[in-house]
């Protein structure tokens, strides 16, 4: 027994010495350097705000305290940035990508343009699962599900090219029979908000966290209404807003919502590193990511800007992405048809 305890203590000391020496080496590596976060959508939207808030605090949780900067690389619904991080960015521990996570599903479904293998990214984590809601303007006349279901013409919703903001309306249109006209090509949700305020669109379906932090004025004035939430259970902020799945009238409709919306939510906002990034750099960034999301200074800023925090670890994100590649073939075939 004493021999076992001695071996255990020795193992703990060895582990501590290993990680201590590793962190010391990483401190020398990162000291004086700059880590670049490439955001796949335009400035001012939810992805950009999360990334910039993270960038202001994450450096102090990385050995050597490197600077963090954010570069926006919008285009093709953030596909351009995903391809860049996968193919072009150096695997040197100095690049993070933050793009629309449903691109992983799009790659699985064979969408043209995906020049990556999703499971080969190094996953750092996600600040929050996607909690999608549909926000429509009062001027559009759609202020409730009853209005929407009774609409005599398709309701125009904005989209960026890919992601929940595109996939959710497509699934709702088929699963629930909602009249929807999806208007694509916007660079980010900031552009969609402006288009809705100008009467070009009725609104869009995207992250509730981003909606409430970037469209606060419209919500407070009553010019913007949350009509539907695409969640498995009501969000605490939206106790009276109906759930999309409650309107599903068939098993197929429920499965489409479950797989295409609910199951995809956890991987919707990933932070990743390029393939072949050394495991020690990945470990350091995963650790810094979680520590940042628990940092009182970060949390105070997040609360001020109405950003919710409910982190998904890099390890869990890696498992989730691997799991979607094991989706039931029949469900996958139907989803492919819906999201084509």
**How long is the chain?**
340
Domains 31-129+267-328 and 132-262 share a fold: yes
Q: How far apart are CA 50 and CA 226, in angstroms?
A: 22
Sign of CA dihedral 268, 264, 223, 190: positive
Q: Which residues in 14-26 are b (16+ Cβ under 10 Å) and which e?
A: eeeeeeeeebeeb
Per-residue pLDDT of the chain (340 residues; tens, 9 = 90+): 434 434 434 443 443 444 444 567 788 999 999 999 999 999 988 899 999 999 999 999 999 999 999 999 999 889 999 999 999 999 999 999 999 998 998 898 888 899 999 999 999 999 988 899 999 999 999 999 999 999 999 999 999 877 789 999 999 999 999 999 999 989 889 999 999 999 999 999 998 988 998 999 999 999 999 999 999 999 999 999 999 999 999 998 998 998 889 888 888 899 999 999 999 999 999 999 999 999 999 999 999 988 889 999 999 999 989 988 888 888 889 998 998 7
Domain map (residue ranges) of the chain: 31-129+267-328, 132-262
Judge: domain 132-262, CATH 3.40.50.300: no
Query: 340 Cβ partners below 8 Å, 6+ apart?
Result: 109
Distance of CA 302 to the CA centre of its chain: 16
Cβ neighbourhood burial of 311 (10 Å; 0-12, 13-18, 19+):
middle
Smallest Cα–Cα separation from 222: which of 163, 157, 138? 138
The CATH number that domain 31-129+267-328 falls under is 3.40.190.150
- Name the packing angle between helices 279-294 and 2-30 (round to 10°): 90
Distance of CA 249 to the CA centre of its chain: 29
Sign of CA dihedral 197, 198, 204, 209: negative
């Amino acid at each position: 027994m004493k021999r076992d305890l001695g071996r255990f203590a020795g193992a703990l000391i060895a582990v501590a010495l290993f990680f201590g020496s590793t962190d010391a080496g990483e401190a020398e590596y990162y000291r004086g350097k700059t880590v670049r976060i490439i955001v796949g959508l335009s400035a001012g939207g939810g992805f950009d705000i999360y990334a910039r808030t993270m960038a202001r605090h994450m450096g102090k949780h990385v050995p050597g305290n490197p600077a963090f900067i954010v570069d926006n690389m919008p285009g093709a619904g953030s596909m351009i940035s995903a391809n860049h991080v996968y193919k072009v960015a150096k695997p040197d521990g100095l690049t993070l990508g933050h793009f629309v996570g449903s691109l992983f599903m799009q790659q699985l479904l064979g969408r043209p343009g995906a020049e990556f293998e999703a499971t080969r990214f190094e996953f750092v984590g996600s600040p929050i699962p996607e909690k999608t809601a549909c926000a429509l303007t009062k001027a559009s006349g759609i202020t409730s599900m009853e209005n929407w279901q009774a609409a005599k013409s398709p309701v125009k919703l904005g989209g960026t090219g890919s992601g929940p903001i595109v996939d959710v309306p497509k699934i709702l249109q088929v699963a629930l029979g909602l009249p929807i006209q999806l208007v694509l090509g916007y660079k980010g949700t900031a552009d969609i908000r402006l288009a809705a305020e100008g009467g070009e669109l009725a609104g869009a379906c995207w992250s509730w966290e981003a909606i409430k932090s970037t469209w606060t004025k419209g919500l407070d004035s009553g010019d913007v209404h949350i009509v539907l939430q695409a969640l498995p259970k009501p969000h605490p902020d939206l106790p009276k807003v109906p759930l999309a799945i409650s309107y599903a009238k068939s098993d197929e409709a429920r499965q489409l919502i479950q797989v295409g919306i609910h199951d995809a939510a956890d991987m919707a906002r990933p932070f990743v590193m390029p393939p072949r990034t050394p495991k020690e750099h990945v470990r350091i960034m995963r650790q810094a990511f979680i520590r940042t999301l628990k940092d009182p200074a970060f949390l105070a800023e997040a609360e001020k800007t109405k950003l919710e925090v409910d982190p998904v670890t890099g390890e869990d994100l890696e498992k989730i992405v691997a799991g979607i590649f094991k989706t039931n073939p029949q469900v996958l075939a139907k989803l492919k048809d819906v999201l084509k």
